Amino acid sequence: MLSYVIRILLRHEGIVLRHNYKYFFLSTVLIAVSLYACPAESAEVLIIGDSQLKPVSELIAGIEDALSVTSTVKAPADVKDNLESIVYREGAKAVVALGQDAVNISLSLPESIPVIYALIINPPDTARGNITGVYMATPVSEYMSFINKYFPDIKRVGIVCDPVTRSVICPAEHRANAKLYDATNPYEFISAVSGMRGDVDALLLLPEKNLLSQTAIEKAFIFSFREKIPVIGISEKYVKTGSLFSLGFNPEHMERQIGNLIIKVLNRGSASGIPQSPPERFTLYINRKTAEATGIRVPPELINIAERVYP
């Protein structure tokens, strides 16, 4: 690019190189460098995400369709070593991080750059102030309200939590009718589930990766069917496996939710003070066979509104 600009200027009619050669050459280089350094079109938003993954590509498409702002999309692998310089080069006013890898990379940015995240299970563990976003985990409060409204026979709900994340995943104000058990690894999770016998009417699974190994999940379902205590949550995959029901995030509404956050951050020039939040809308999945096996009555109205009912 630099040599090309110099050649064009050298061929320009009227340029005389016999005099003030050094001055001319220096001026030419400065002009060329400035042209090279400035992007043809700046992007208001830099989106980081692996577009090879369907949830990421769909959310990117939804965001770009919904917003009238300019954006550039980069894969996490392409920006992990030079994200800050790319942000400044693009002139981006905010970074949108989609997925855990993108979020981890974005947390290294200077505090002055707003970060908006999505497509991660729980809020990132960071002291960063200039950050907001939508996490995918359905709040305990949403599950408890749903159970109280539609499943009155479930009086006591067992919940296994890591003490470190308890205040975020299961805040004290939403623990009514819940019996909490501590665990820091899959072995302790299995032990806690075994200790629920006779004390709870259902087991609510939370999206805690350090607790839910494949073996731990299998033990939870064995306990569920042996004791006729239904497992509740976390996603459609778990309902298909044997959970009574789950409340998952609604992808279409999440697009709008993220879009609204982006606009708010751009208007304010900062993400500070904008609350990180769970999804605002949820999709219901039900397993009718599990309901029958555990003696739980599913109201007909839930069958009608569920996204999918597994027979």
Could you tell me the pLDDT band of residue 40, with boundaries at 50, 70 and 90?
very low
Are the CB atoms for 218 and 190 separated by under 8 Å?
Answer: no
Say whether pLDDT at 15 is over 70: no
With H, G, I as helix, E, B as strand and everything else as coil, classify residue 160: strand
- The alpha carbon torsion through 265, 267, 272, 275 (nearest 10 deg) reads -60
In DSSP terms, which residues pair with 76 in a beta bridge?
none
Report the C-alpha gap between 41 and 308 in whole angstroms: 45
Q: So what's the pLDDT on residue 294? A: 93
CB atoms inside a 10 Å sphere around CB 164: 12
pLDDT over threshold 80, residue 1:
no
What mean pLDDT value characterizes the chain? 85
pLDDT, average across residues 173-185: 83
Q: Of 27 and 98, which is predicted with more confidence? A: 98
Residue tagged 């320009």 (tokens): 12
Residue with tokens 């999709």: 283
Which pLDDT belongs to residue 175? 63
- Per-residue pLDDT tens over the stretch 278-304: 998 899 999 999 999 999 999 999 999
Contact 227, 200 (CB under 8 A): no
Q: pLDDT band for position 41 (50/70/90)?
A: low
Q: What pLDDT digit, counting tens, does each position of 234-244 carry?
A: 999 999 999 99
pLDDT at 66: 78
31 pLDDT more than 60: no
**pLDDT band with cut points at 50, 70 and 90 for residue 172:** low
Alpha-carbon distance of 223 to 162, in angstroms, equals 20
CB–CB of 180/206 below 8 Å?
no
CA-angle at 76, arms to 236 and 273, nearest 5°: 75
The share of the chain scoring above pLDDT 90, in percent, equals: 67
pLDDT of residue 168: 72
State the pLDDT at residue 28: 44
What is the structure's pLDDT at 177?
Answer: 82
Q: So what's the pLDDT on residue 134?
A: 95
pLDDT on residue 13: 41
127-163 per-position pLDDT tens digit: 999 999 999 989 898 999 999 999 999 999 999 998 8
pLDDT score at 63: 84
Residue 149 parent element (H or E): helix 140-150
Domains and CATH numbers, the chain: 2-37 (no CATH), 45-136+251-268 (3.40.50.2300), 140-248+282-310 (3.40.50.2300)
More confident residue, 25 or 97: 97
Predicted structure pTM score:
0.79
- Across 263-275, average pLDDT: 95
What is the tens place of the pLDDT at every residue in 72-101? 999 999 999 999 999 999 999 999 999 999
Question: Is the pLDDT at 274 greater than 90, yes or no?
Answer: yes
Q: How confident is the model at residue 62 (pLDDT cuts 50, 70, 90)?
A: confident
- The larger pLDDT score, comparing residue 41 to residue 9, is at 41
